[in-house]
Amino acid sequence: MFLAGEHAPGPLLIFWTMLGGFLAAGGANAVNQYIDRDIDHVMVRTRKRPLPGGRMQPYQVLTFGLGLSLLSFIQLWWTVNLLTALLALSGIVYYVCIYTMLLKRRSTQNIVIGGAAGAIPPLVGWAAVANEISLLPIILFLIVFYWTPPHFWALALMRQKEYKAAGVPMLPVIAGDRETHYQIVLYSILLLLICIAPVFLGLLGPIYLVLALILNGIFLGRAIDIWRRPTSDHIWRLYKYSLLYLALLFLAMGFDHLFYTVPANMIDIHLRLPL
């Protein structure tokens, strides 16, 4: 949101956008738990959810999830703009239908393709301010998209017995640990390349470039550590760092935007929606 305009967005716009995103994420999560109610009791990380814990009934969870999703769309349309509401809704539909219902129990690429749902929030934030989508938010989308596999596969390596018991074909369960280590390194390299692309496209400046190289250097280094010595300590180090990494990377963009002025002839592509 701070990158999308020449001036910082107003606090009220930030509040309404964050509230809509909160409702959308909650709605998608609740519907996901309704669909996965037959396997959530198997995994330690999910067995305390309301359904396997016996605190709610399936119809209550489904009604709650659909209600939050609908409320998110109406609230964002009313308080922000229609494009923002549609993007948030697309994230819910993609997460529930493409990831949870179609890919999660059928493909080792579930987290790769399904990760697009988790990459939509940057588009939502940008659209809330600019009411359009341009090249930079698309790159932000791709950053989160390429960050998701190494982030989640690190967790899957540590929880693969639970995923196997639940019948979820995560990459370590089907392809094995070594292939997963290789894929983590590969996606870490791709992540580095997509992270520095905005600088060479004239969308971000040297401050971001330096910080992005440092942050991605650490990320790639920890991925290589897993490849060289796949210990539990190395896997958890990458997983924990990946949580901090994304926040620091986006913060680096904010600092760059604050102190560096992008040239007027910057490369940009606008996909305008006449609303």
Taking residues 66-71, report their average pLDDT: 98
Q: Which residue shows structure tokens 């301010």?
A: 129
Give per-residue pLDDT as tens, 164-215: 888 889 999 999 999 999 999 999 999 999 999 999 999 999 999 999 999 9
Instruction: Identify the band that residue 267 occupies on the pLDDT scale cut at 50, 70 and 90.
Output: very low
> What is the predicted pLDDT for the residue at 269?
43
How many helices, marked H, and strands, marked E, lie in the chain?
11, 2
* pLDDT > 90? residue 147: yes
Higher-pLDDT residue of 27, 48: 27
Instruction: Identify the band that residue 52 occupies on the pLDDT scale cut at 50, 70 and 90.
Output: very high
SS3 132: strand
Other beta carbons within 10 angstroms of residue 200's beta carbon come to 10
Instruction: Identify the band that residue 262 occupies on the pLDDT scale cut at 50, 70 and 90.
Output: low
Pairing of strands 132-133, 271-272: antiparallel
Highest mean predicted confidence (pLDDT) among 19-33, 41-55, 254-268:
19-33
Q: What is the separation of C-alpha 268 from the centre of its chain, rounded to a whole number of angstroms?
A: 23
> What is the predicted pLDDT for the residue at 150?
96
Is 64 in contact with 102 (CB distance < 8 Å)?
no
pTM of the model: 0.89
Of the ranges 40-49, 57-66, 117-126, 237-246, which one carries the lowest mean pLDDT score?
A: 40-49
Domains of the chain: 1-131 (1.10.357), 134-275 (1.20.120)
